Amino acid sequence: MKPLEVTIKSKQNQQLKAWRKLKTSKGRQKAQRYLIEGWHLVEEAILSKAAIDKIIVSEANLALFNETFPTLNHPIEVLADFLVADLAETETSQGIFAVLAMATAKESWQPLANKYLLIDQVQDPGNLGTLIRTADAAGFDGIIIGDGTVDMYNDKVIRATQGSLWHLDIQQMALEKAIPLLQTHAVPVLATALYQKAIDYRTLDKTNPKVAIIVGNEGRGVQPTILEQADHLIYIPMYGKAESLNVAIAAAILMFHFV
């Protein structure tokens, strides 16, 4: 199955043109595909049995690639080295990419596991990626990404996840719809809120294996209508003069408390 020669030799190549479109959110939505880059991510995608359409290797990387993955069955294209920069999102590209199929939303999805992180309108790609990576490390089972959150297939998000996006059940769904589903399955829903309205997270029952935690936008926090649906409003006491915590930091403290 291993190609021995360069298959993509020109900027005008139709496949290359199609892949380039995956660099924008619009292009990804239309194709229902996304692009990843770098040895670590491609290896994680393979190991995680992610939905890989195609692996793209630069000519300079071909020998190392064949050595690293001697028994791989994925379709492979070999990119002329001068075209690497054309596809790369990073300044120092490693010359290895993959195109993957987006997960399709399931209308019948149910929260059958124990621990969920719910994300309400987080805007920074690094924050979203770190939230996904940290939820994985904390042993959370799933993530629900609400409307108005940054595109999870953005390359900066994927890099910050370090591959954790393929380890968890990730659903893109309105939180207004997800919260009652969780509650039907006896998962207590906790939302981070301001001091005045909320209780110290450490006062809650830690013995229940089920928990859902909602974190919100970097500036505004969780939307008021979402707060109203939650079972408990919680806060992290702060001791110094800092006014707030970064959203990924706050989520980490909470998730590792409820592990």
Which single residue is written with the structure tokens 């981070």?
A: 192
| Residue 231: exposure state from Cβ atoms within 10 A (0-12, 13-18, ≥19) | middle
Quick check: 203 binds a second copy (CB under 8 A)?
A: no
CB of 88 to a second copy, least distance (A): 20
Which single residue is written with the structure tokens 């001068």?
A: 82
Quick check: 258 binds a second copy (CB under 8 A)?
A: no
Segment 88-127, which members bind a second copy (CB under 8 A)?
126
**Interface with a second copy: number of residues (CB under 8 A):** 32
Question: Residue 139 and residue 128: Cα distance in Å, rounded?
Answer: 17
- The smaller minimum CB distance to a second copy, of residues 53 and 200, is found at 200
Segment 233-252, which members bind a second copy (CB under 8 A)?
236-246, 248-249, 252
**Binding track, positions 163-182, relative to a second copy; x by CB under 8 A:** -x--xx--------------
Please identify which residue in 120, 136, 151, 155 interacts with a second copy, judged by CB under 8 A.
136
CB of 47 to a second copy, least distance (A): 9
Question: Residue 125 and residue 154: Cα distance in Å, rounded?
Answer: 7
Quick check: 256 binds a second copy (CB under 8 A)?
A: yes
Segment 54-73, which members bind a second copy (CB under 8 A)?
none
